[in-house]
């Protein structure tokens, strides 16, 4: 843990390894099991967030490419129209 700086992103797999559920035996097993279930759900939610972010980045990139394509086609159309008006 000493190697992390405030701006460093810790890989999720490393976080998961550090917080893997441990086997507990105590009089509070129900509470511990609830906490372990909660922790597992948090891991799953975090995985979904990462997947969603990847999909959003791909969607954003596609939208940018489409917008650039539309702008390029408009510029070509304007160039053809201005060329036709000169004749």
DSSP string, 12-70: HHHHHHHT------STTHHHHHHHHHHHHHHHHHHHHHHHHHHHHHHHHHHHHHHHHHH
Q: Could you tell me which residue, 70 or 81, shows the higher pLDDT?
A: 70
Is residue 57 domain-resident? yes
**pTM for the model:** 0.50
Is residue 8 domain-resident? no
Print the domain residue range for 31: 25-86
Domain count across the chain: 1
Is residue 11 domain-resident? no
Contact between residue 59 and residue 32 where contact means Cβ atoms under 8 Å apart: no
Contact between residue 32 and residue 26 where contact means Cβ atoms under 8 Å apart: yes
Interatomic CA distance for residues 76 and 87, integer angstroms? 17
Query: What are the pLDDT digits (tens) for 3-55?
Result: 545 566 667 676 666 666 666 566 678 888 888 889 999 999 999 999 999 99
């Amino acid at each position: 843990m000493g190697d992390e700086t405030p701006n460093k992103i810790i890989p999720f797999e490393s976080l998961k390894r550090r917080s893997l559920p441990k086997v507990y035996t105590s009089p509070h097993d129900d509470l511990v099991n609830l906490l372990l279930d909660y922790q597992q759900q948090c891991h799953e939610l975090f995985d979904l967030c990462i997947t969603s972010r990847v999909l959003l980045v791909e969607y954003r990139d596609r939208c940018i490419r489409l917008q650039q394509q539309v702008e390029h086609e408009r510029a070509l159309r304007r160039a053809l129209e201005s060329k036709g008006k000169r004749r």
